[in-house]
Amino acid sequence: MKKVLSYSCIIIGLVLLISGTHRDIVAYIWERKHHHLWWGEHQSNFGDLSNIAYLDDIKIFQTPNDYQFTPPADTAGPKNVDLYVFGDSYIEDVPCYAFAHVNACRTGRKDQHDLIYQLDKAKRNVLLIETAERYVRSNYGTSDIYSHIKKDALPVTRAKIMSQSPVFASMDLGLHIGDFFNPNINQNLEYLLFNVNAMNEPRLLKADMNYYLFNRGSGDVIIADDGQHLFLKETVEPKSDYSSYQPFSDEDAAKWINNLNAIYDHYRGEGFDEVYFAIVPNPVSVIQPANYNNLIPKLQNAPGLKMHVIDVYSHYKKAGNARQFYRAGDTHWNNNGIQVWLELVNEELGKVSVR
């Protein structure tokens, strides 16, 4: 009996280690669980940070998605803009009809699907690049953006796979040494073993205990100093490249401006009539700005920057209480926040359409 038990445990352990390290197996299980086809997982509708930190019970952080999109009220003027939008999760819900003066629009999203453009010379072609502030350093420090916003169409098969399995970008039948030493194995194992309904109660209990006794979130989530908002830890930790508190020197700014200018020149050369850049501030940058590194103003106000910017940062600052633009239990903005952004974008599109 002991022998049978031993061998069973060895086999189960090996299966777990292999499953946790093999990208395709994890992708398959992720897909199944995500669609609730197997044994479920923790899903909170109150916000991604509430969800990660298991703080669903805490009322202050219960902020459901409240986006409401309508066609812009002021539609006077031609609808002659072909709009190409490349962004991230901040604008993934924005429908094309929310943009003014748009004849057609296409979207692309970093790490999910590329933005493919075919310019119509009879139209005003506008490229709008949106990014969350925390990704500015990692995504716009190099020019790899060219591989994500490009003219030629991708082969259908790859595009299809990418859209089905966003986390694990491509499948490869060849075995590489890295396949056996997946750096994400612990996250994968945790997902495989513990992201099940049965484990939710103890997790919620632990999260509540940490919150009420120690006023702390989970490892990845930090509670704001005033206790009213959740922040992603990596946007607060000064050592992280995603952080609003990591020093951003004038030399750093000059380097990034060079990159942004190169991106601008590239797409203007490709035939775009205008290229816009929109940085969405990390919530912590405007809600808890005492040690803010001023990344956004340093980039946006630089005299040498060629790109036109959609400056929501200044609007949020001017408005006073920046909390009104973000969901308390989420990394993202709320309907107020996104509407300010849309108004600014539509204002710019109006100018382009009559140029």
352's CB contacts (< 8 A; 6+ apart) are: 81, 101, 124, 126, 273, 274
Q: How far is the CB of 328 from other proteins (least distance, A)?
A: 20
Cβ closer to other proteins: 37 or 177? 177
Q: Which two tokens stand for residue 63?
A: 């902020």
Q: How far is the CB of 222 from other proteins (least distance, A)?
A: 10
According to CB under 8 A, which one of 14, 104, 154, 171 is a site residue for other proteins?
A: 14
Which among 152, 166, 128 is positioned nearest to 276, based on CA atoms?
A: 128
6 counts as binding other proteins under rule CB under 8 A: yes
Buried b (16+ CB within 10 A) or exposed e, 90-107: bbeebeeebbbbbeebeb
Neighbours of 170 (CB within 10 A): 9
Window contacting other proteins (CB under 8 A); options: 15-23, 107-115, 131-139, 298-306: 15-23
Neighbours of 259 (CB within 10 A): 16
204 counts as binding other proteins under rule CB under 8 A: no
Q: How far is the CB of 12 from other proteins (least distance, A)?
A: 9
Which among 347, 348, 334 is positioned nearest to 90, based on CA atoms?
A: 334
**What's the chain's Rg over C-alpha atoms?**
23
The interface with other proteins within residues 61-80 (CB under 8 A) comprises none
Nearest-angstrom CA–CA distance, 215 and 184:
29
* Residue window 205-244: x/- pattern of binding to other proteins, with contact defined by CB under 8 A: xx--x---xxxx-xxx------------x----x------
Q: How far is the CB of 261 from other proteins (least distance, A)?
A: 26
Which among 340, 31, 254 is positioned nearest to 164, based on CA atoms?
A: 31
Window contacting other proteins (CB under 8 A); options: 189-197, 282-290, 320-328, 340-348: 189-197
The interface with other proteins within residues 16-45 (CB under 8 A) comprises 16-17, 20
Residue 248 identity: F
> Is residue 128 a contact partner of residue 276, using CB atoms and an 8 Å limit?
yes
Q: How far is the CB of 167 from other proteins (least distance, A)?
A: 18
301's CB contacts (< 8 A; 6+ apart) are: none
Kindly state the helix (H) or strand (E) to which residue 297 belongs, with its residue range: helix 295-300
95 counts as binding other proteins under rule CB under 8 A: no
Cβ closer to other proteins: 20 or 87? 20
186 counts as binding other proteins under rule CB under 8 A: yes
Cβ closer to other proteins: 236 or 342? 236
Window contacting other proteins (CB under 8 A); options: 2-10, 125-133, 249-257, 305-313: 2-10
Neighbours of 119 (CB within 10 A): 15
Window contacting other proteins (CB under 8 A); options: 128-136, 146-154, 186-194, 315-323: 186-194
Neighbours of 116 (CB within 10 A): 16
Window contacting other proteins (CB under 8 A); options: 47-55, 73-81, 204-212, 260-268: 204-212
> Is residue 285 a contact partner of residue 330, using CB atoms and an 8 Å limit?
no
254 counts as binding other proteins under rule CB under 8 A: no
In the complex, which residues of this chain contact other proteins (CB under 8 A)?
Answer: 3, 6-7, 9-10, 13-14, 16-17, 20, 177-178, 180-181, 185-186, 189-190, 193, 202, 205-206, 209, 213-216, 218-220, 233, 238
